[in-house]
């Protein structure tokens, strides 16, 4: 697989399928693992980092489930490629910088990604479309078992998996769910919901993970604690919380439709109209307007386009995607023009 192959390909997790996919974009499980034989990445010297990468690369090659994957060493990628992978949620922003034997392993469907020498030796991630944490868990658990047969992980009987940052120690697992909560935002109840989430020891982030702001009414909710509970208990906890949020968002949508239908219809329809007609559009405005279109599809107010196409637009209108599609470096102004062009093409074709 070449990185450019991904460009015209719709990631599995963007397909807009799976349970509650009108509210839950995607479910993600990631595991942090470290080799017992080497210091954590930021304590490793060059040789140690290289040895870790070689060992993991070898292990991956032996695992049947990972047969269809490709390994990209970050030293071989230019900054555009790296940004491209971050935009596709295949690796973290932090992983794109500093390149001591870093790599990322990706499968064709973009369900599995494995970062080597990020904060931990291994950051394994499995993404699923919709509200589907257990399915993601089943896949990642199988891969983890295979990896454990090939590699000797740093593990303590008292603490569980040892990780570079103590907050990940234990299961080394984080489950997160990307939620689209426009109705709770519009009726002004989102603050309450976010407060409740943080009191229950979960964290909320924006579209691009740690440190990013919530735009377009997207909220990524994940567990903070990974110690003292089994993986399935943690997932069950997240699921319980997410079910409540889904219920609240659904109620908010009903409220909107019963009390403010024409205002909502106006907002949604205008957003769609602007996207179909703009010739210059920023990334921020795109996210906000697409968010309204996504709501419109869920509410049955927009029928010309499916949510899978909208999900895809969120991804391909980002800076690195635009530049790879155009196959050249684009200034911010040029990107705003290209972005508008792509959106017009997609939405007017439907």
The residues that touch a copy of itself, with contacts defined as CB under 8 A, are 262-263, 265-266, 269-270, 272-281, 337, 340
Read off φ and ψ for residue 204, nearest 5 degrees. Answer: -120, 135
Nearest distance from C-beta of residue 338 to a copy of itself, angstroms:
11
Number of helical (H) and strand (E) elements in the chain, helices listed first: 11, 10
| Owner of token pair 């996504």 | 294
Nearest distance from C-beta of residue 309 to a copy of itself, angstroms:
18
CB 220 within 8 A of CB 285: no
Rounded-to-integer distance, Cα 202 and Cα 282, Å: 31
Nearest distance from C-beta of residue 293 to a copy of itself, angstroms:
11
Cβ nearer to a copy of itself, comparing 222 with 271: 271
Rounded-to-integer distance, Cα 313 and Cα 281, Å: 13
User: Would strands 160-161 and 103-107 be described as parallel, antiparallel, or unpaired?
Assistant: unpaired
Nearest distance from C-beta of residue 261 to a copy of itself, angstroms:
9
Nearest distance from C-beta of residue 344 to a copy of itself, angstroms:
9
Cβ nearer to a copy of itself, comparing 81 with 265: 265
Nearest distance from C-beta of residue 289 to a copy of itself, angstroms:
11
Q: Which helix (H) or strand (E) holds 115?
A: strand 112-116
DSSP state of 206: B
Strands (DSSP E) found in the chain: 24-33, 69-73, 103-107, 112-116, 122-129, 155-156, 160-161, 173-180, 202-205, 218-223
Around Cβ 150, how many Cβ atoms within 10 Å?
A: 14
Rounded-to-integer distance, Cα 182 and Cα 214, Å: 11
Cβ nearer to a copy of itself, comparing 233 with 266: 266
Cβ nearer to a copy of itself, comparing 274 with 330: 274
Nearest distance from C-beta of residue 265 to a copy of itself, angstroms:
5
Cβ nearer to a copy of itself, comparing 262 with 332: 262
Alpha-carbon dihedral angle through residues 18, 24, 25, 26, given to the nearest 10 degrees: -70
Nearest distance from C-beta of residue 304 to a copy of itself, angstroms:
12
Rounded-to-integer distance, Cα 129 and Cα 98, Å: 31
Cβ nearer to a copy of itself, comparing 74 with 278: 278
Cβ nearer to a copy of itself, comparing 154 with 292: 292
| Owner of token pair 């795109």 | 286
Cβ nearer to a copy of itself, comparing 181 with 281: 281
Q: Can you read off the two tokens belonging to residue 255?
A: 């409220």
Rounded-to-integer distance, Cα 130 and Cα 86, Å: 20
State the angle between helix axes of 261-277 and 231-259 in degrees (0 to 180), rounded to the nearest 10: 100
Alpha-carbon torsion (322, 328, 329, 335), positive or negative = negative
Nearest distance from C-beta of residue 278 to a copy of itself, angstroms:
5
| Owner of token pair 């990107």 | 335
Cβ nearer to a copy of itself, comparing 98 with 270: 270
Nearest distance from C-beta of residue 263 to a copy of itself, angstroms:
7
Cβ nearer to a copy of itself, comparing 167 with 277: 277
């Amino acid at each position: 697989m070449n990185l450019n192959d991904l460009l015209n390909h719709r990631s599995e997790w963007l397909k807009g399928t799976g349970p509650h996919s009108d509210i839950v974009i995607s479910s993600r499980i990631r595991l942090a693992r470290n080799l017992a034989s080497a210091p954590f990445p930021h304590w490793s010297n060059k040789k140690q980092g290289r040895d870790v990468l070689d060992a993991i690369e070898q292990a991956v090659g032996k695992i049947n489930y990972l047969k269809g994957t490709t390994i990209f060493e970050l030293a071989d990628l230019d900054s555009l490629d790296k940004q491209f992978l971050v935009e596709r949620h295949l690796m973290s922003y932090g992983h794109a910088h500093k390149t001591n034997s870093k790599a990322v392993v990706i499968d064709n469907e973009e369900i599995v990604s494995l970062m080597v020498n990020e904060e931990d030796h291994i950051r394994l991630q499995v993404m699923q479309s919709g509200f589907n944490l257990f399915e993601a868990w089943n896949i990642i658990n199988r891969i983890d078992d295979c990896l454990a047969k090939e590699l000797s992980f740093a593990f303590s009987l008292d603490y569980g998996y040892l990780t570079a940052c103590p907050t990940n120690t234990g299961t080394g697992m984080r489950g997160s769910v990307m939620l689209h909560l426009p109705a709770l935002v519009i009726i002004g109840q989102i603050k309450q919901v976010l407060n409740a989430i943080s009191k229950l020891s979960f964290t909320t982030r924006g579209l691009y993970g740690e440190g990013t702001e919530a735009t377009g009414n997207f909220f990524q909710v994940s567990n903070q604690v990974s110690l003292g509970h089994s993986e399935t208990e943690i997932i069950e906890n997240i699921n319980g919380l997410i079910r409540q949020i889904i219920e609240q968002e659904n109620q908010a949508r009903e409220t909107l439709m019963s009390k403010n239908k024409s205002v909502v219809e106006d907002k949604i329809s205008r957003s769609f109209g602007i996207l179909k007609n703009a010739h210059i559009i920023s990334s921020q405005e795109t996210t906000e307007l697409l968010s309204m279109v996504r709501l419109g599809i869920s509410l049955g107010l927009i029928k010309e386009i499916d949510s899978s196409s909208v999900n895809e637009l969120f991804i391909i209108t980002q800076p690195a995607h635009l530049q790879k599609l155009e196959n050249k470096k684009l200034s911010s102004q040029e990107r705003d023009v290209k972005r508008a062009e792509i959106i017009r093409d997609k939405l007017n074709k439907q």
